[in-house]
A and B are shown apart, each in its own frame.
Chain A
Amino acid sequence: MSIANIETKHEGGHHGFGVDEHGHFHHAHHFKDAHHQYESSKQGIWLFMVTEILMFGGLFVAYAIYKSLYAPIFHVGSSFLDVKWGSVNTVILITSSFTMALGIYYNQTNQFQKAVVSLALTILCALGFMGIKYIEYSHKIHDGLLPGKFFTNKEFPKKLSEYIKKMEPEDLSPQMKEIASNPKRLEKAAPLYFGFYFAMTGLHGLHVVIGACLIFWVMVKTHRRRFSSEYYTPVEGVGIFWHIVDLIWIYLFPLLYLVG
């Protein structure tokens, strides 16, 4: 069933396109052919991924700048994070990426039943990821390790000032020396790390939830046989979005948990 012989018979201005009940794909009327539509949609998807990268990039740039300015705060702050849960989350997200890729593969080869199963697995991993996130967050809220004015943890400022006393003065950046000189300002600046932690993982968690909903929508359409080997762009688009979310976590995990 090569693409060429799908004749484009459609009347009126309706924009309807997609796979009809016996698997024939009608491309949208303002494109030359199915391949043209596929190429255009892929380019549109990639352009949107650039905006995702730039949005999270803004946060990573701020993180990089503040980490080099206030290295001790970030170092002591990251010691409060639980690396075990972090690595479990990374493994979960990687497996979800794998099952997502399988979902696309099965759709490409018209094995819809397997595609629905792998997409369901991906959603399961996403929920698992959010569950672990819930555990980590409740643990932090319990300890009072929250950003800004909600910060009530006593142990963190103490550990931070000890750590700074141990460091040689020339390792500290001028801005850090200025803040370290006045204990009241140091105590106020300490929660900055958790400000970053909650901003970055919060925004990433939100994208995981959005990804899960999108995958659910695509899974339902696969179940209803809306896709075929000639037309699977939505699955691939959602797949690329999910891989971008995984990509961001691949960078987020070492930056926040390991190397802080």
Chain B
Amino acid sequence: MFSLHFTVLANTFMPVQGSEIAVDVDYHYAFLVISSLIAFIILIGGMTLFIVKYKRQTENDKTAYISHNHFLEFLWSFIPFLIVMGVFYWGKVIYDKHRTFPEKAEEIHVIAQKWAWEFKYKNGVSIESAKGEVLHIPVGKPVRFIISSRDVLHSFFIPGFRNKQDAIPGRFTSMWIEAKQEGEYQVFCAEYCGTGHSNMPARIRAVAPEAYVAWLEEKKANTPVDPNAGNEMAMKGASLYKELGCSGCHTVASDAPKLSGPSWVGLFGSKREFADGSSVVGDENYIRESILNPMAKIVKGYAGIMPPYVGRVSDEEIDNIIEYIKTLK
């Protein structure tokens, strides 16, 4: 009976159990909840009992002069010490499971950036959470995420698998999960990263291994070949568009949702009105100046919040970006 009660309580509030480790975490959680409840009842129950029993009758009651009791003090310092050491050991066992990576795991690169996730499979297929695409993983096989970030700290948090790991710019961190049943799992960003911290969710769908392989093949087949495959500079400009964080405020697809910066689609060669009423046709000098010193010309209807890139981007990189913008019609 006790184990039934134990399991019911274990996952009353916890999200769906995505993996075996999630089940262990929930048992650990249930044990902690119950032991805390018992400790709470002893402490606060004892206190309320004393309050009721030793209510003050007259103003100067005689009270017992008990200054200390060594045996009692030994008990309530050594027993909590043993309990917390036990809790530590159980937690460490679960942590070891989280942090020992199985050999042949499916490797997926996770790149976090200001307010979107990008996943890259081994065979070049890339999924972008901003476009609402869903990451697929096989059931029953371990999947290892290699996590990095393009701008600030983010954290790849999957409540369903009770696991998260920070995405640190300039460094790779990793974590692994193994789905034990099919289903769709929510992904959050758990490290504060600014305006869009609360709306950069992603979805992970665990599917049967065969369906997973089929899906991957089909996805590989119809990934649009990069239009400017031949144009070397534009390819570099495209990766800079993501690496330097321009993707956080400027859109490159005419149908993409409006962001806090003007869109680059059709920028080259079109007229641009500015807040101070003046206007200019979009050309290399305007783009170069807006990158190095954005406050010089602010497009009408947009706030001047773009940080200056002087010293952070070289001239050769600016030319690549301009080439990339030329290809955006």
Q: Do chains A and B touch in the complex (CB under 8 A)?
A: yes
Per-position binary interface string of chain A over residues 158-183, scored 1 when its CB falls under 8 Å from any chain B CB and 0 otherwise: 00000000000000000000100000
Residues of A within 8 A of B311 (CB): 148-150
Q: Which of A127-185 contact B (CB under 8 A)?
A: 148-150, 178, 185
Count of chain B residues with Cβ under 8 Å from any Cβ of A?
5
- For residue B297, give the distance in angstroms from its CB to the closest CB of chain A: 22
Find chain A residues with CB under 8 A from B275 CB.
none
Q: Which residue of A lies closest to B311 (CB)?
A: A149
* Residues of the A chain whose Cβ atoms lie less than 8 Å from the Cβ of B170: 185
Query: Residue B312 at the A interface, CB < 8 A?
Result: yes
B310 at the interface (CB under 8 A from A): yes
How many residue pairs bridge A and B at CB < 8 Å? 7
- Rounded to whole Å, the gap between the CB of B174 and the closest CB of chain A is 15
Q: Which of B285-329 contact A (CB under 8 A)?
A: 310-312
Which residues of B lie under 8 Å from residue A178 when comparing CB positions?
A: 171
CA distance A149 to B310 in the complex (A): 8
| B 156-179 to A, binary, CB cutoff 8 A, 1 in contact else 0 | 000000000000001100000000
Chain B residues, Cβ within 8 Å of A150: 311
Contacts of A185 in B (CB 8 A): 170
Whole-angstrom distance between the alpha carbons of A178 and B312 in the complex?
A: 20
User: A110 vs B2: C-alpha distance in the bound complex, in angstroms?
Assistant: 84
- Interface residues in A95-153 by Cβ distance below 8 A to B read 148-150
Find chain A residues with CB under 8 A from B171 CB: 178
A185 vs B310: C-alpha distance in the bound complex, in angstroms? 17
A148 to B311, CA, bound (A): 9
CA distance A200 to B310 in the complex (A): 26
Residue of A nearest to B310 (CB): A149
Q: How far does the Cβ of B214 sit from chain A's closest Cβ, in whole Å?
A: 37
CB distance from A105 to the nearest CB of B (A): 52
Alpha-carbon gap, A150 to B312, bound state (A)? 10
CA distance A134 to B152 in the complex (A): 36
Cα distance A185–B311 when bound, in Å? 13
**B285 → chain A, closest Cβ, in Å?**
23
Q: Report chain A residues within 8 Å CB of B312.
A: 149
- What's the minimum C-beta distance from B33 to chain A, rounded to whole angstroms? 40
- Nearest A-chain residue to B170, judged by Cβ: A185
**Within A190-204, which residues are at the interface with B (CB < 8 Å)?**
none
Q: Name the distance in Å between A255's Cβ and chain B's nearest Cβ.
A: 26
Q: How far, in whole Å, are A185 and B312 apart by their CA atoms in the complex? A: 11
Contacts of A148 in B (CB 8 A): 311
Cα of A148 to Cα of B310 in the assembled complex, Å? 12
Chain A positions within 8 Å of B310 at CB level: 149
Nearest CB in chain B to that of A175: its residue: B171
Give CA–CA (A185, B169) in the complex, Å. Answer: 12
Cα separation A185 to B314 with both chains bound (whole Å): 13
Q: A151: nearest residue on chain B (CB-CB)?
A: B311
Tell me, in angstroms, the Cα distance from A129 to B310 when the chains sit together. Answer: 35
Nearest CB on B from A226, distance (A): 51
Q: Type the 1/0 row for B233-253, where 1 means its CB is closer than 8 Å to any CB of A.
A: 000000000000000000000
Which A residue's beta carbon lies closest to that of B308? A149
A-facing residues in B162-216 (Cβ within 8 Å) = 170-171
Contacts from A to B (Cβ < 8 Å): 148-150, 178, 185
Name B residues whose Cβ lies closer than 8 Å to a Cβ of A. Answer: 170-171, 310-312
Q: 7 A-B residue contacts at CB 8 Å? A: A148-B311, A149-B310, A149-B311, A149-B312, A150-B311, A178-B171, A185-B170
When A and B form their complex, which 6 residue pairs have the shortest distance between CB atoms, in order from nearest? A149-B311, A149-B312, A149-B310, A150-B311, A185-B170, A148-B311
